[in-house]
Amino acid sequence: MMPLPRHSPLCLASFMTRALCSYLNGPRSYAKLEPTPIPSRGHRLLRPGLSLYFERGIEAQDAERNANLDNSISLVMLLEGELDLRFGNQHLKLNAGRYGSNKVFSPTMALVTINQVESFCRTTRQGDFSRRISLNLSHKWLEQSLCGDTIDDTSATAAQLEKHLSTRQWKASSRACELAEQMLTPPPLPPELISLYLESRALDLFLDAWSHCTRNQDSRPARGISTRNYYRMCELASWLKANTNIHLSLEQIATEANTTTATLQRHFRQAHGLSVFEFLQHARLEKARLALQSEGISVSEASDMAGYSHTTSFSTAFKRHFGISPKQVFTRKAR
């Protein structure tokens, strides 16, 4: 990823996050605060040139929402459901599926560059469901935050951003999903901190997307695998993390990767140093650990979440992977 100016708002994202955590963990307790009220649909201006749009719910009727956009970048993060969008003559349809359903669940991101006044339209049908975060970033904000004197205007990335209605679409990383969830359901916060919290997450989300879009194609992947196949396996790993709740066969995973099972196993191990199912096991254990740590679920529930039939086997695998038993994590949460 290309360097950022020292005083860029993006460089402040991690600082803002650390400051928030320090403040909330300080002597003043917010444990008794009511959950931050967030409507099901809305818009917030986080700072001049950086706007947040969010939505979660079911459409009550057929509708078209129209607007005009000008000199900006639109970043769309679809956690669940479907979106039917049109930027000028560029039609963008996203489908992330539904979490917990038998269908494939695959959160999706898209980035669209708008370099002149352009129409925007979102079409919905009665009964449509979606959970999404959208960020609109003006070119002026981008110039101040990204460019400065650190980006060569002749770079491939700069050239890509100069193309009106250029569009990129990819499977969201687990980090992006986590950030979007935090923005849709923020923790209990005093009113003076909620905007700062949302802005810090929005900046981190954009950094995740920017990192994906500006990934150095000349970087060297693991030995024995081409750059193209390496990044395909990275995208597949993100998809697997998003679908840990589904019991997938090797054939189904190979179909998703558009390859054979033998090639899949070879390329995946070359890229990640693990077999596909070892990777899935680790991802499920990590998901169970986070649930034990942040949601306070029982060890038995965590075992089910990780796909184990017996808690003893789960506890053994958990301790081997993390060096601590799930019961110890649960006890720490209870305190």
Give the torsion through C-alpha atoms of 257, 224, 282, 102, to 10 deg: 0
Q: What is the secondary structure of 76-113 as a DSSP string? A: EEEEEEEEEEEETTEEEEEEEE-TTSSS----EEEEEE
CATH class of the region 9-213: mainly beta
Confidence class of residue 30 from pLDDT cuts 50, 70 and 90? Answer: very low
CATH number of 227-334: 1.10.10.60
Q: How far is it, in rounded angstroms, from Cα 163 to Cα 160?
A: 6
Look at residue 156 and tell me whether its pLDDT is greater than 70.
no
User: Measured over all CA atoms, what is the biggest interatomic distance in the chain, rounded to whole angstroms?
Assistant: 61
Give pLDDT, residue 133.
92
The pLDDT score that the predictor gives to residue 136 is 94
Handedness of CA 229, 208, 242, 53 (dihedral sign): negative
Q: What is the pLDDT of residue 215?
A: 62
- Per residue in 79-114, pLDDT (tens digit) is 888 899 999 888 898 988 765 555 556 889 999 989
Q: 3-state SS of the chain: helix, strand, coil percent to 5? A: 45, 25, 35
* pLDDT at 128 > cutoff 70: yes
Same CATH fold assignment for domains 9-213 and 227-334:
no
Half-sphere exposure of 284 (CA within 13 A, CB side): 23
Whether pLDDT at 75 is above 90: yes
SS3 311: helix
**Domain range list for the chain:** 9-213, 227-334
